[in-house]
Amino acid sequence: MKRILTALSLSLLIAGLGLGCRKPKAVDQTIHSPELMALADKQMKQGKFNEARVTLRQLEQYLPGSPEFPKAKLMLGDSFFFQSNPSFPEAEVEYSSFLNYFPRHELRDYALYHRALCHFSSIESAERDQTETRKALDGFQQLLAESPGSPYAGEAKAKILQCWRRIAEHELIVGVFYVNVYYYPGAEHRLKALLETYPDYVDRERAYFYLGEALRQRLLTPEEVAQYQKDYAAKLQKADLNSLTPAEGEQFAKDFNAYTTGTIKGFRDEARSYYQKLVESYPGSEWARRAADRLVTMGSGGVKEELDS
């Protein structure tokens, strides 16, 4: 009996090992990939996005060489994008994956557009960080560069304008904030860059007024003073100002006073120029009236009277 049981056990063990070493059957792509795609498509239309993703993941994992694979990759992105509670970061990952897999696919413009929309749909208010706005802008511009004749080109152009306006509004808000917290050099830099970079999208009335405000109150920064002192010492071939002779020190004091006086006068003159632009370009606006008041206060008489007349 023991011999019989031992022989039987060995037979079962050998049989089990034989089964364990068998390769899994290859999936019949001809049969299964269209069926899986049809099922996923039906689930998507029914709003069963989680179930559709399970189906599409099977096709993605087991049938990557099937004709339906590219569409499955796109549908995975759509399943996150179009669900009732969209997950734009996950949709963006899937659209990016499609673009990496199929850089020359005929539906590339669709993926580019919807990837940009993922960022566009995640844009924060103008007061917040605009990273998503810039990513959306880059995405729409890439679409237009690669596929200018795409059916999505018109929508992309419209959204590019919205992105530029949002970024310009954000930069203006930061500049205004700097003025309100008395950081006038930062406000000057930010607002000048705004007018130069986004000339077609900026609210010029506010930009001119607050740039004028920054320059009207601007003084020299410690960094600017330090640079002047460094340059002055270098001109005299001195290591620093501590080695100046009494005569040289007296001359430095005169030169430094002239430098500060002239620089601050330049700030004030520039402030007047921005107030004047505002008054001349937008004579009927409230910001122009404020600018006119500033010009009167700063000694540019006659401006307010002319405006009121």
Q: What is the mean pLDDT of residues 242-254?
A: 93
Sequence ranges of the domains in the chain: 204-308
Q: Rounded to an integer, what distance in angstroms lies between the CA atom of residue 291 and that of residue 293?
A: 5
65, pLDDT greater than 50: yes
5, pLDDT greater than 60: no
Q: What is the mean pLDDT of residues 216-223?
A: 96
306, pLDDT greater than 90: no
301, pLDDT greater than 60: no
Q: Is 297 exposed, middle or buried (0-12, 13-18, 19+ CB in 10 A)?
A: exposed
**Side chain identity at residue 190, one-letter code:** R
Q: What is the mean pLDDT of residues 98-119?
A: 96
Amino acid 300: pLDDT: 62
252, pLDDT greater than 50: yes
Inter-residue contact 166 to 126 (CB < 8 Å):
yes
Nearest to 130 by CA among 142, 119, 141, 115: 119
User: For the chain, what is the mean pLDDT?
Assistant: 88
Amino acid 88: pLDDT: 97
131-146 per-position pLDDT tens digit:
999 999 999 999 999 9
Q: What is the mean pLDDT of residues 198-216?
A: 96
185-203 per-position pLDDT tens digit:
999 999 999 999 999 999 9
Amino acid 304: pLDDT: 41
Amino acid 32: pLDDT: 80
- CA dihedral for 113, 88, 133, 206, sign (positive or negative): positive
26, pLDDT greater than 80: no
Amino acid 198: pLDDT: 93
Portion of the chain with pLDDT greater than 70, in percent: 87
Q: Rounded to an integer, what distance in angstroms lies between the CA atom of residue 272 and that of residue 211?
A: 10
